[in-house]
Structure 1
Amino acid sequence: MVSTGAASTLVRSSWALQDPLLTEYYDREWGMPVRDDQGVFERLTLEAFQSGLSWLTILRKRDAFRAAFHDFDPVPIAQYDEADVNRLLADPGIIRNRLKIEATISNARALIEMQAKGQSLAEVVWSYMPESSPTPTEDSEVPSASDESVALAKDLKHRGFRFVGPTTMYALMCALGVVDVHLVSSHRRGCSGLWNRDGSRVEQ
C-alpha cells in the first residue's frame, strides 16, 4: 500500500499507516537487526504480550513495560516473586495478564539458565535465519509463520520458554530482521543490510 501525505511516494505495509506511532516504528525500527540477549528478550516479551492484541497497543505501553520490568534485564526479572506479580497486575500502564506476566518471569529464568551454560538467546534466534526471505508484493502475501519459526518455537519451548508459538516467533523474526517481509516495493525493503530486494541473502 502507498502511504499518503507528505511522504506519498513511500510504500509501506498497511498496518504501518494506521497511526503515526506505527509509521515511525516501521520506518526506524521494524526489521532492523537486534543481536544482544536483553534486546531480543524485550522483543520476545512484547511479542508475547501482543498475542490477541494490536501492536499499536503494545507500542503505546512500551515505556511503561520497560519501567515495570526493569528495562527487560532478565537478572532482576528472574528473581520476581508473587509480590512482583501482584505489583504488575496492579500496574495500569502494562497489559495486566497473569499468564503472560508469569511467562515473562519464567522466560527470564530460562534465559539466565541458558547464559549460565554459555548459550545466547540472540544466537539461538538468529540461527534460524532462512536461506531466502519472502518477496511479498502486497500485504496478503506476507506469511504468518514458516518452517524456521516452527523449529524455533520448538527449540525455545524445549529450553523452558513460554508463549513462544510459531506465529509469535515469526513476528519476532520479522521484527529483528531475521527475515525481511517488507513489501518488495517498500523503501524499507532490505533495510537490515542482510537481505537483497529479491529475498536472497546479502553476502557477508
Structure 2
Amino acid sequence: MLMAIFGKHAVCLDVANGYSEHFVDAVKAVRAAHPTHTIIAGNVVTGEMTEELILAGADIIKVGIGPGSVCTTRRQTGVAILNFLLYLIAQMLVFLRYLTAYDLKFKTSSAHGLNGHVIADGGCVCPGDVAKGFGAGADFVMLGGMLAGHEESGGETIEENGKLFKQFYGMSSSTAMKRHAGGVAEYRASEGKTVKVPYRGEVAGTIREILEVCDLLVPMLEQEN
C-alpha cells in the first residue's frame, strides 16, 4: 500500500525509541543519500519529535512505543502512553505552532502541516481500534496480531493434538534476533515475545471485517482522511 502511494523506493528506519540525536542524524544521512526515496522513521510518541524527524527528512512517522501484542517494551521499561492519546498528540501539538501559516482545513495534524504522514503503530485488537487510529488522524494503521495466524501471515505452521497454530513473534524478540540477518549485541534485552496463535485460514475475511467497521465508525468520529 505504501509503495502504491509513494512509489517503489522506500526506506524504513525502525528503532524502539526514536528520541536520539544519532537517530535524527541517521534520518538526515539517508535523506541526503536518497533524495527521492520515501523515508519512514520511528518510533516516537510526541508532536515535537514528529516535527523534528519530518524536518530531518522523513516522510512518514511511526507513532507508538510498545503497544503491540507481542511487544514487551512497556513491561520491560515501564514507559507507555495511551495509543489514542499519543496519536492525537503527534497529530496536533506541533501544528499549533504553524496555525497562522496554514488554512484551518489542514488542522487534522501537525505532521500534515509539515507535509508528513503518520502511521499508528500497534495495539489494535479489534476493527474498532483500527477505525479509532484513522479517526485520530493517522494516515496508516499498522497491524500485527490482528493478522497473525492467517494463511498469508509469516511464521511457522505448527500442528499440536490435531490442531493447527502459527508462530507469531515481535521483531525485537529473541526469536527474531536469532533468525534474521545482521545480529544484535549480546547484551541487548529482548523487547518482544514469541507465541502460538490458532490457525485462522485466509486473511480476506478479516480484512473485509476491518474495512466494514472503518466505513461505519470513521464518519462517526467526524474525521476526514
**What is the TM-score of this pair, normalised by structure 2?**
0.27
Structure with the largest fraction of helix: 1
**What is the TM-score of this pair, normalised by structure 1?**
0.28
